[in-house]
Structure 1
C-alpha cells in the first residue's frame, strides 16, 4: 500500500513542478497558486505514505536509501510550503519542486520493500536524530535556492539585462533575509541533530564520537555553517558572500547525506542501493 501511495505522491510532485515551470516561463501568476495547491496535496499524500509505511514496518521509515530520499523530499516539501505560506515566494517553487521530484524519482528506482530493522537502529533516538538532521537539511536547501536566485538577480542587475524572471523574483534584500532566516533555523537543527546522534552513539556503541566518515563530514559541514553564522553576526556578511556560502554549504550537506553514505565505508553507510 505504501508503494502505491508513494507513486501517487510522485505523480503529484510532477504536476506541481510542471505547473510551477509553466507559471515561471509564461509569466502566469495564477498557475503559481495551482502549483502550491498541488504541492500541498502531494505533501499530504506523502505524509500518508510515510504513516502507512511506519505501520507496516513497525519503525520510523528512515533506515535505508529509499526511505531516506523519501523522508528528505517530504521534509523539504513541508518546509517550503510553510516558508511560501509565510513569505509568498512562489517563483522559488520551480527549483524546490524540481529538487523534490529528483529525490522522489531517485527513490523510485531503488527497491522500495520494507526490510527488517537493524538491531542497532532499534532506538527511540532514531526519529529524533534523523528528524532533526533532515529538517536542518531541508531548511538549508531553501537557503540554497534563495542563494542561487540572489546571484541570478544580482548578475542581471550588474549586466542590465533583465529577463522575465527578474520581474517575478523577490528583491535582493528579501532573498538575503530568507537566507539569514534559514541559517538561524537550520543551524540549531543541525546542532541538535549532531548532539542527539552523539548521545545515541554512546548508548549504542559505547562512545560519543568515533570519527566515522559520516560524523566527520557532518562536523565539517557544521563548522562551515558556523563560520557563516559568525560572519553574519559579527562581521556583517550578507548579500553575495552569504549566498555563495549558502550554496557551498548545501553542496556539503548533499555530500554528507549521499556521497558519504554511498562512497565511504563506515557505520552510517548503506550496504547496498537497497539499504
Structure 2
C-alpha cells in the first residue's frame, strides 16, 4: 500500500513539473527587446527631459529611440518585470519537489531502507537533488530562466523512471545491506543532481553565445524572446562553473567511498569494474574541465562543451553500464 502511494506521489510530481515547464516557458518567452527593436531610454528622465537635452548615460535625446542589444544585455539593464507565469512556475515546481520528497519517504517506508538502491529510486533521488539545487539558487538570485529546462528534465526522467525503471519496493542484495549504501549512493545521487543543473546552464550558455558571437538574432520570434531573456554567456558560464566545482567534490567523494565499500564487500579497493571505470572517466572529465578553466583560461564554448561531456559520461554510466554491461554494480532491479 505504501509502495503504491509512493508511485502516486511520483506521478503527481511529474504532473506538477509538466505544469511548471509550461509556465516557465511562457515566462521565458515573454516579450523583451530584441537586437533590432528600439526601446525608450529612461535614464535621466527629469527636468531636462522636455527640452530634449542629452542624457548623462548616452548623450542621446531623451525620448529618442535607442537600439538596445538584447543578446548579452541582460546583465547590463534591469530585467523586465516577470509575468504571472513565472510565479505559477515557481509555485508548481515547489509543489512537485515536495511531492517527490513524499514519494521518496513513502518508498523508503515501504522498502524498510533508504530509497536509492536501484535505478528507479536513484532516478527519483537525483531529480529531487537537482530540483532542490534549483530552488536553493533561486533564493539568492533570479534563475527562473533555468526553470523550463530543469523542470522539463525532471519531467522526462520521472516519466522514464515510472514507465521503464519501476520495480516494487523490497529488500536489497546482501552486498548492499551495509551502511555504505547510505553514504556512497547518497553522495552519488547528489553529484548527478548537481551536474544536471550545471549541464543545463552550459547548454544555455552555448545557445546564448551562438548569437552573441555572430551579432545576429534568431529568426523565430519565440526564439528571439528566449535568447533575450537569458543572461550573458559569461554569467551562465560562471554559474555552471560554481555548480560543477561542487559536483566535482562530490564525484571525488563518490570514488573514495566506493573504493572503501568495495574493500569491505569484495576485499579490494579497485577492480576495473565497468561501473568503477566510468565513474573514474566522469571524474577525469570534470577534473580536466576545472583545471583547464582555472589554469589554462579555457572559458567560453570550450568550458561549456567540457561540462556537457561530463554530463554525457554520467548518462553513459547510468543508462549503458547499468543496463548492458556485465558489472558487479548492476543493481538496476530490472532483471
- Quickly name the TM-score band, shorter chain normalised: over 0.9
Q: Confirm or deny: 8 A CA contact 1:64 1:270 kept in the other structure.
A: yes
Deviations 1:219-240 (A, max 9, x none): 0111111111111221122121
Q: Report how many residues are paired.
A: 274
In structure 2, the partner of 1:257 is 318
Tell whether the 8 Å contact from 1:129 to 1:193 is kept in structure 2 after alignment.
Answer: yes
Which runs of no fewer than 5 residues in structure 1 stay unpaired?
A: none
Q: 2:132 aligns with which of 72, 75, 78?
A: 78
Residue 63 of structure 1: aligned partner: 117
Task: Report matched runs for 1:108-119 at 5 Å.
Answer: 108-110=162-164, 111-119=166-174
Correspondence for 2:289: 228
Q: 1:240 to 1:29 in 2, by over 3 A?
A: farther
Distance 1:50 1:101 in 2: 16
Higher relative helix content: 1
CA distance in 1, matches of 2:137, 2:300: 20
Report the TM-score when normalising by structure 1. Answer: 0.94
Unaligned runs of 5+ in 2: 32-81, 218-223
**In structure 2, C-alpha distance between the alignment counterparts of 1:236 and 1:29, rounded to whole Å:** 38
* 2:202 and 2:305 in contact (8 A); partners too: yes
Structure 1: how far apart are the matches of 2:172 and 2:159?
A: 24
The answer for the alignment partner of 2:209 in structure 1 is 154
| Distance change (3 Å), C-alpha of 1:153 and 1:212 | same
> What secondary structure, in the 3-state scheme, does the structure 1 residue paired with 2:29 have?
helix
Give, in whole Å, the separation in 1 of the partners of 2:116 and 2:259.
Answer: 18
Q: Does 1:17 align with 2:21?
A: yes
Larger Rg: 2
2:7, 2:162 within 8 Å by CA — same for their partners in 1?
no
Question: Are residues 1:31 and 2:85 paired?
Answer: yes
CA contact (8 A) 1:3 1:112 kept: no
Match of 1:4 in 2: 8
Give the Cα separation in 2 of the matches to 1:180 and 1:9: 29
Cα-to-partner distance string for 1:73-105 (whole Å, 9 max, x where unaligned): 111111121122222111111111111111100
CA distance in 1, matches of 2:301, 2:88: 32
Query: Could you say which residue in structure 2 is the equivalent of 1:138?
Result: 193
Query: C-alpha displacement at 1:183, in angstroms?
Result: 2.2
Contact 1:19 1:31 in 2 (8 A): yes
RMSD: 1.6
CA apart distance, 1:271: 5.8
TM-score normalised by length of structure 2:
0.78
